[in-house]
Structure formats: C-alpha cells, structure tokens
Chains A and B, each alone.
Chain A
Amino acid sequence: EDQVTQSPEALRLQEGESSSLNCSYTVSGLRGLFWYRQDPGKGPEFLFTLYSAGEEKEKERLKATLTKKESFLHITAPKPEDSATYLCAVPGISGSARQLTFGSGTQLTVLP
C-alpha cells in the first residue's frame, strides 16, 4: 500500500532562517507528487506538482524538488506569513480507490 511520511512533524524557524521539509514516499510507480499549504481552519491550497526525479518547481520563497524516494520543500528566508502546515501527497491506489495518499504534514512556524 502507498505510504507517505513527512518530517519533521513541527518546525520553528526564525524569520530569514532557511530550512527544508521532507516527504518520503513508497508507491508502486510514481505518477506525481503534490505539495499543499494548509492554514488553520482552512482547506489545503495546492502549491506544486512534481512528476519525475530531478524536477524542481519554485514559487516565491518555496522550492520543491523530487528524487526517486523523497521530495523536499525548501524554504528560503522565510517570513511569518509562511507559517502553515505543509502537506505532500501522491496519487495511487489505497484499498479499492484511486486516490491521493497524504502525509500527516509539517507544521511550520516562522517567528518574527
């Protein structure tokens, strides 16, 4: 069965302190990996899709990368407004459903 593991569970950074979030996955044939941002009490907001090892996507201070076993979300010089929970997900088969399998997320707090 497909599995997605995110680490760390929580991360506190000072404003401007760059870091990376990890998403490791086990799937039978990767058909993409998605990153989402979720603010408290809100639905996840789609950020990136990565399809193949070596691919990179950027958006403002965020850069997502993909290898054959994991993905990283790099946050460069974060600001307090980057505080959120970041989720990654892979499409696959779980039980009888073709569905997205989500990790439990990394809760990022950026302190001013």
Chain B
Amino acid sequence: SQTIHQWPATLVQPVGSPLSLECTVEGTSNPNLYWYRQAAGRGLQLLFYSVGIGQISSEVPQNLSASRPQDRQFILSSKKLLLSDSGFYLCACATGLDTEAFFGQGTRLTVV
C-alpha cells in the first residue's frame, strides 16, 4: 500500500516569504497526486492535481503553484506568502481517478 511522506509538519513563515512543501510517495508507480487545503471546521478544498510528471492542473486561482519533477514527488510552492495562505495543507495519492485517496500527515502553515 502507498505511504505518503509530507514535511514539515508545522511551519511559521512571515508574509512575503517563499514557501516550499514537499510530498513523496512510496509503494506505487504513476499515481495521481493532489494538494488539498483544509480550513478549520471545513471540508477539503482541492488546490492542484497531477496525473503525471510535469502535468499540473489547478482548480482555484491563488498565490500558490505546484510542480511534479519526479513520478512520486509533488511540491507546493509560493514566491510570496500572504496571510490568507495560512491553513492545513494535505498531500494525497490515488491510483486512479475514481479510487480512494490516501493522505499524508499534513503541514500546518501559519503566515505571520
């Protein structure tokens, strides 16, 4: 079964600073990869998804970008963080488009 490694677990960054969150997957090849953001007490909002190396789709306009340089590596980035970027970021992996997704442990980002 898949294992999703996500780091760091917590991060406090000043407004205007850059961001890089990394996610790596073990136990599967050519997975679909996702970045979600979860606001307190709310459901998960899809930010980016990728079906292959270099293939990134974005669902919401935002201050963030994503990249997939390797099959099992997914990176979430920002050049300049905003206060509104604070949240709980989750990386997820699925073997198909309609299959269950498995999640990493998340990164709690606080922009100050």
Residues on A close to B: CB < 8 A? 4, 31-32, 34, 36, 41-46, 49, 87, 89, 91, 94-100, 102-105
Residues on B close to A: CB < 8 A? 4, 6, 34, 41-44, 46, 49, 57, 59, 88, 90, 92, 97-106, 108
The 10 A-B pairs of least Cβ separation, nearest first, read A43-B103, A91-B98, A102-B43, A98-B97, A31-B98, A104-B43, A102-B44, A43-B106, A34-B100, A43-B105
Residues of B within 8 A of A49 (CB): 100
B106 touches A103 (CB 8 A): no
Residues of A within 8 A of B101 (CB): 34, 46, 89, 100
Q: How far is the CA of A89 from the CA of B100 in the complex (A)?
A: 9
Residues of B within 8 A of A34 (CB): 100-101
Most buried by B among A32, A42, A43, A46: A43
B43 touches A105 (CB 8 A): yes
Minimal Cβ-Cβ distance residue in A for B42: A104
